[in-house]
């Protein structure tokens, strides 16, 4: 096929040669040597290769493409062209037309209003007057502007929680019976303690025969009809009951009556501590601020885990022997 194409191109070139020589004896043939003829054949083959396949369309020449581009682009009339034509060829090479951007800092003021310009001038005057700006005139650090959205949401949530807690504190009222006492129930493990506190009498009359002075009497703590030191002989267990009074600085100011049942001594003492703390909160809601951070108003929900079938205890298994 290449040889056939070469022959067809050669015939075409020969016909054009004959047509040019037949016009006159002085006519110069287009190709005067064979190498130029072969180069023209290759060029024709390459042009036909990249030409459109449609017979109705033909490839545009370079001049036609430039004319189309010039017709589509609106070329501004430069002031340096004397004729004022829109021909791009009239513009000298290496010459740029147009206006450069203003390199000065005042270009930013073009879009500002009069009020904004006045404010900028005042700020500039303040800066020029002082060498070092004062602390209140300085801008906040960049960390203030680039705070994460999550941290902002967290702060808002904390503020809402604080407001909610303040509202709950304001809504709490004293719960005192007609005898001036308050009650509270505490639980720990399987022990349940019912506590009632009453303000202790500030003084007690002494014997008239010895002295007429009044002796100070501290509040009594009775648990199941027995004094505190008799019912809880261990010092650590007594400290559980006295801890809420020590936190609120009210040791000896109340008479305490406790009825407790279930569990052991450790569970009963901690149940009594929760009951005493709740009764103090009911007597005066202001005590909550001292009791809550120490955990005296929190119910400890830990209990013994139940035994599982097939195991010795909750998790302990029987000894297993392979043989």
Mean pLDDT confidence for 146-166: 81
What are the tens digits of pLDDT across the range 78-107?
Answer: 555 445 555 556 555 555 555 556 667 677
What are the tens digits of pLDDT across the range 255-302?
Answer: 999 999 999 999 999 999 999 999 999 999 989 989 999 999 999 999
Residue 184 in tokens: 């509270």
pLDDT grade for 167, boundaries at 50, 70 and 90:
confident
pLDDT grade for 197, boundaries at 50, 70 and 90:
very high
Residue 271: which of 242, 300, 231, 292 has the closest Cα?
300
Mean pLDDT confidence for 63-72: 70
Q: The whole model's pTM is what?
A: 0.49
pLDDT reading at 204 higher than 50 = no
- Strand pairing of 254-261 and 221-223? parallel
- Strand pairing of 204-205 and 214-215? antiparallel
Residue 192 in tokens: 């349940």
Burial (0-12, 13-18, 19+ Cβ within 10 Å), 296: buried
What are the tens digits of pLDDT across the range 107-116?
Answer: 767 777 888 8
pLDDT reading at 35 higher than 90 = no
Report the chain's mean pLDDT, rounded to a whole number: 75
**Of 240 and 82, more confident:** 240
Mean pLDDT confidence for 299-309: 96
Burial (0-12, 13-18, 19+ Cβ within 10 Å), 197: buried
What pLDDT was estimated at residue 64?
77
Q: At what angle do helices 2-22 and 34-50 cross, to 10 degrees?
A: 120
Mean pLDDT confidence for 152-179: 86
Of 7-16, 61-70, 175-184, 223-232, least confident by mean pLDDT is 7-16
Helix (H) or strand (E) holding 197: strand 191-199
pLDDT grade for 212, boundaries at 50, 70 and 90:
very low
């Amino acid at each position: 096929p290449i040889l056939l194409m070469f022959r067809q191109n050669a015939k075409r070139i020969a016909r054009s040669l004959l047509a040019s020589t037949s016009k006159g004896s002085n006519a110069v043939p287009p190709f005067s040597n064979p190498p130029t003829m072969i180069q023209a054949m290759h060029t024709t083959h390459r042009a036909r290769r990249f030409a459109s396949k449609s017979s109705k369309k033909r490839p545009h020449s370079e001049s036609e493409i430039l004319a189309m581009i010039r017709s589509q682009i609106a070329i501004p009339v430069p002031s340096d062209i004397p004729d004022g034509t829109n021909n791009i060829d009239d513009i000298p090479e290496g010459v740029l037309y147009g206006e450069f951007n203003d390199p000065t800092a005042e270009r930013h003021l073009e879009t500002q209003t009069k009020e904004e310009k006045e404010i900028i001038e005042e700020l500039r005057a303040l800066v020029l007057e002082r060498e070092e700006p004062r602390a209140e005139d300085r801008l906040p650090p960049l960390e203030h502007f680039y705070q994460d959205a999550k941290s902002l949401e967290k702060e808002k949530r904390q503020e809402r929680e604080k407001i909610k807690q303040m509202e709950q504190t304001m809504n709490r009222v004293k719960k005192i019976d007609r005898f001036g006492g308050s009650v509270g129930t505490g639980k720990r493990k399987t022990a349940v303690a019912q506590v009632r506190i009453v303000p202790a009498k500030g003084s007690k009359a002494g014997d008239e025969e010895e002295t007429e002075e009044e002796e100070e009497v501290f509040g009594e703590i009775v648990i199941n009809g027995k004094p505190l030191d008799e019912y809880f002989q261990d010092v650590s267990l007594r400290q559980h009951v006295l801890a809420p009074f020590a936190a609120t600085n009210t040791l000896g100011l109340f008479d305490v009556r406790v009825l407790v049942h279930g569990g052991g001594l450790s569970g009963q003492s901690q149940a009594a501590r929760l009951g005493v703390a709740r009764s103090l909160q009911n007597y005066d809601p202001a005590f909550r601020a001292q009791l809550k951070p120490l955990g005296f108003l929190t119910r400890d929900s830990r209990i013994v885990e139940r035994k599982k079938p097939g195991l010795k205890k909750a998790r302990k298994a029987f000894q297993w022997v392979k043989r």
